[in-house]
Amino acid sequence: MIHLNENFTKLKASYLFSDIAKQVTAFTQANPDKPVIRLGIGDVTEPLPPVCIAALHAATDEMAHRATFKGYGPEQGYAFLREAIAQNDYAARQCPIEADEIFVSDGAKCDCGNIQEIFSLDTRLAIPDPVYPVYIDTNVMAGRTGPSVDGRYQGVTYLDSTPANGYVPAIPSVATDLIYLCFPNNPTGAVATKAQLAEWVAYAKKNQAILLYDSAYEAYIRDPQIPHSIYEIPGARDVAIEFRSFSKTAGFTGTRCAYTVVPKSLQAFDAAGKAHSVHALWNRRHTTKFNGVAYPIQKAAAAIFTPEGKQQVKDMTDFYLGNAALIRAAVAKLGFSCVGGDNAPYIWVNTGRDSWEFFDMLLTKAQVVCTPGAGFGKCGEGHVRISAFNSRANVETALARIAAALK
Ligand code: MLT
């Protein structure tokens, strides 16, 4: 008889965004005359930057000729892309990261979800609440937690992000081994200062722990004091892995390209206390389970590092931040407090009401989709997340409808 991995039965029946999509589909089927505006899942709406389109066309033409055709590429990514990332995202910010410490992949979601495989099952986890569900769900699947009791998996140290701490969690008072951090934060849009990140680096050093730093939204940072990378903190390359994505930076949610930085100085220990290179282990996993991102997609990704590409990315992220500013202003006018939206494409609204009820009210009365905060964890209750990813016209219409629904 085939037995299943019973850890999967500890999970909620479906993934947060699948749940929401089902509810929205049911509403639109029942109300075909009421067009819905989606400010829920953070999916981009604007076309790829022109430099990416040109690079895609040129690379596709290369694939049409024997002399320039490409089959399997290096699993870790082509050197042209890894070097462009190392130069522009790291050297330019004085971060000591080499091109061969960068692993190109088809998504930060997959990498954030897969990275836990290389750590032992008794790894002590520290996970923010609210949180991007992938971090916790993949650890539940692996069997690194107990069952969920009262909305929290047993055995996990939760890092509460609340109005009281400005949605930036404090360092835990207990030792943990693997700590998930995300700044600018999904879902709250909160950012961390260099001083705050330096405390996490010191904590990780003290506990021989590893920080998993998700900076998928760094392109939205406008405050020059806010770090874009964990490697801007001295010593971080000895204790941190960083996840980045072209999805929200350059509109690649459907195109798929991301990367993970695993410094060669990062170590994890076996049961006997012997140190092993995490870079070597991730490389082993990556080459076994992944065959690289398509060549034309990597060419399109590399194009964002050209001078025109940088300007086009800035224009695109400025555009979404313009939406975010409108959302923040409208939310404030309605009397709600909120964070995010200034250095992030998400606005985290403190509604003070049941978050699924608020979601339902916005869907049925305003035909606007948001994300209920409780879907991101217990501390998300009483909040909703509004995404700035949509056209200007849709954002303006959505805000007018929300204001009318809440009158
Ligand atoms: C979100 O809405 O939280 C993101 O789009 C999810 C993701 O990037 O996978």
The number of the ligand 1 atom at minimal distance from the alpha carbon of 134 is 9
The number of the ligand 1 atom at minimal distance from the alpha carbon of 41 is 2
Please report the DSSP string for 71-130 in residue order. -S--TT--HHHHHHHIIIIIGGGT----GGGEEEES-HHHHHHHGGGGS-TTPPEEEEES
- 356 CA from centroid of ligand 1 (Å): 18
The number of beta carbons lying within 10 Å of the beta carbon of residue 381 is 18
What global pTM score does this model have? Answer: 0.97
Cα separation of 402 and 366, whole Å? 6
Q: Whose CA is nearest to atom 6 of ligand 1?
A: 42
Residue that has been written with the tokens 């699924």 in this structure: 356
Q: What are the Cα distances from residue 268, in Å, to 182, 259, 300? A: 21, 21, 35
Give the residues surrounding ligand 1 with Cβ less than 6 Å away: 41-43, 109, 132, 186
Domains in the chain, start-ordered, CATH in brackets? 6-46+308-405 (3.90.1150.10), 53-307 (3.40.640.10)
Q: Are 210 and 175 in contact (CB under 8 A)?
A: no
Q: Given ligand 1 and candidates 17, 20, 43, 134, which is best to mutate, with the most ligand atoms within 8 Å of its CB?
A: 17
- From 13, 89, 99, select the one nearest 313 (Cα to Cα): 89
Q: Phi and psi at residue 80, in whole multiples of 5°?
A: -60, -35
- Say if strands 102-105 and 337-340 run parallel, antiparallel, or are unpaired: unpaired
Instruction: Write down the H helix ranges in 334-381.
Output: 355-361
- 152 CA from centroid of ligand 1 (Å): 21
- From 342, 351, 332, 336, select the one nearest 388 (Cα to Cα): 342
Quick check: helix, strand or coil at residue 326? helix
Instruction: Write down the H helix ranges in 186-306.
Output: 194-207, 247-250, 278-289, 295-302
Cα separation of 99 and 97, whole Å? 7
- Measure the N-to-C terminal CA separation of the chain; round to a whole number of Å: 58
Please report the DSSP string for 191-223 in residue order. ---HHHHHHHHHHHHHHT-EEEEE-TTGGG---
- 7 CA from centroid of ligand 1 (Å): 23
- 188 CA from centroid of ligand 1 (Å): 12
Q: Are 41 and 311 in contact (CB under 8 A)?
A: no
Q: Are 111 and 243 in contact (CB under 8 A)?
A: yes
Q: Whose CA is nearest to atom 9 of ligand 1?
A: 109
Spell out the per-residue pLDDT of the chain, length 407, in tens.
999 999 999 998 788 899 899 999 999 999 999 999 999 999 999 999 999 999 999 999 999 999 999 999 999 999 999 999 999 999 999 999 999 999 999 999 999 999 999 999 999 999 999 999 999 999 999 999 999 999 999 999 999 999 999 999 999 999 999 999 999 999 999 999 999 999 999 999 999 999 999 999 999 999 999 999 999 999 999 999 999 999 999 999 999 999 999 999 999 999 999 999 999 999 999 999 999 999 999 999 999 999 999 999 999 999 999 999 999 999 999 999 999 999 999 999 999 999 999 999 999 999 999 999 999 999 999 999 999 999 999 999 999 999 999 98
Cα separation of 405 and 266, whole Å? 52
